[in-house]
A = this chain, B = another copy of it.
Amino acid sequence: MTSLENIRLAVFGPGLLGGSLLHDARALHALELRVWARREESLTALREMGLADFSSTDAAAVAGGADVLVLCVPVGGMKALAHQLAASHPAHGAVFTDVGSVKGMVMREVAPVLASAGFTFIGSHPMAGAEKSGLAAARKGLYQGAACLLTPAPQAPRAAVDRLHTFWQALGCFTSEMDAAAHDAIVARISHLPHVAAVLAALTAFRSGPGGARFAAGGLRDTTRVASGDPDMWSEILLENREALLPAVRDLLAAGAQLVAAIESADAAALRALLAEAQHLRAMRYP
């Protein structure tokens, strides 16, 4: 990790992602940590942890004077918060970003509100997380080794985009740039779809009661792990990305119907071909 020595960082929403950002930024010697939270108690906790140099439940007050600002609230709450920030006075060269899992909605509905307040907004999606959420689950190093996808609008100043690359790389991310639509199509397949598959597996495996599940090995645990994610956050994400997600879920169900047909007709060759394809495709990503 390189340092963040000259950065005045503002975090809006110190949950798992925002809190971990504060842990890392402190460790990387950020000049100042500014934090907004909905509730005063969250800010008190952060001050006691030494993770908030300036904190307030007034979002515009937190935004003023910050160089890098990060929306870390769930995607469903971003737009309302952006409106609260419309009265801010951005520092010169400040760059505003977020950590949301969907980018089309953010670039369409959040970015313009912040732009009207004078901010340069560039979407970010660090592919880091955990099935636990909240400040209690936040930790140093959460972003280490994760991909971070940046979705600048075509007119975004190159210097601001570069600054954001450097920021995420300092946290240990490898960064990549694409437009919001490409981002949403990709994460529908590699993040939101696996979440759906885990939810469906959990419902099917556990609905028959916990009786049999006590015998389960690591396969059930791992396949369903992400289904332990926060239902409020995930239902927002899945709905916000529904346009890209629906074709992916339909593809999964179609593959399921194919597999059922192979099992019903005891077509070993067809079943084996599906399993071999899954094994082969996965091995290309996880050798």
Inside 8 A of A260's CB, which chain B residues have their CB? 246, 249-250, 253
Query: Nearest chain-B residue to A202 (Cβ)?
Result: B278
Which of B197, B219, B230, B263 is the one whose CB lies under 8 Å from A200? Answer: B197
Contact B219 A205 (CB under 8 A): no
A48 interface residue (CB < 8 Å to B): no
A154 interface residue (CB < 8 Å to B): no
Contact A239 B176 (CB under 8 A): no
Inside 8 A of A278's CB, which chain B residues have their CB? 198-200, 202-203, 206, 224, 227
Query: Nearest chain-B residue to A234 (Cβ)?
Result: B275
A193 interface residue (CB < 8 Å to B): yes
Contact code string A247-287 (vs B, CB < 8 Å = 1, else 0): 01111110111011001101010011011111101111110
Determine the distance from Cα of A36 to Cα of B138 in the docked complex, in whole angstroms.
Answer: 53
**CB neighbors of B among A4-31 (8 A):** none
Knowing A193-B204, A223-B198, A281-B206 touch, does A242 contact B213 (C-beta < 8 A)?
A: no
Q: List 19 interface pairs A-B (beta carbons < 8 Å), by A numbering.
A: A129-B219, A147-B214, A190-B205, A193-B201, A203-B274, A204-B248, A207-B281, A210-B285, A221-B286, A224-B278, A227-B278, A228-B283, A229-B279, A235-B275, A239-B263, A242-B264, A246-B264, A249-B259, A256-B256
